[in-house]
Amino acid sequence: MKRKSYTFLIATNNQSNVRKIRVPGYVLHVLALLAIVGGITTLAAFGSYSRMLWKVTNYNNLVHQQNTLKQQYQQLQATVQDTNQRLSSLQSLATEVAMTYGFMRFRRTPFGLDEVGPGGAPVTEASYEQTVEQFNFLKKNATSVALASSGLRLMPQPGVGDLAATTMPSLWPVIGRITGSFGERLDPFSGEGAFHSGVDISADYGNAVHATADGIVVAVEIRAGYGRLVVVDHGFGLSTWYGHLSSFATEVGSHVKRGDPIGYVGVSGRVTGPHVHYEVRIHGAPVNPWRYLRSASSGD
Closest Cα to residue 237, out of 205, 285, 197, 192?
Answer: 285
Orientation of helix 25-100 relative to helix 132-148, angle to 10° = 60
Rounded Cα gap, residues 272 and 267, in angstroms: 8
pTM for the structure as a whole = 0.50
Handedness of CA 145, 151, 156, 158 (dihedral sign): positive
pLDDT at residue 52 above 80? yes
Closest C-alpha to 169, from 12, 47, 278, 42 = 278
pLDDT, tens digit, 9 for 90 and up, residues 203-243: 999 999 999 999 999 999 999 889 999 999 998 889 999 99
C-alpha torsion angle, residues 130, 115, 143, 156 (rounded to 10) = 180
Give the residue-averaged pLDDT of 249-274: 93
pLDDT of residue 259: 93
pLDDT tens track for 58-103: 898 898 999 999 989 988 888 887 777 677 666 666 655 655 555 4
Looking at per-residue pLDDT, the higher value among 111 and 26 belongs to: 26
pLDDT tens digits, 203-214: 999 999 999 999
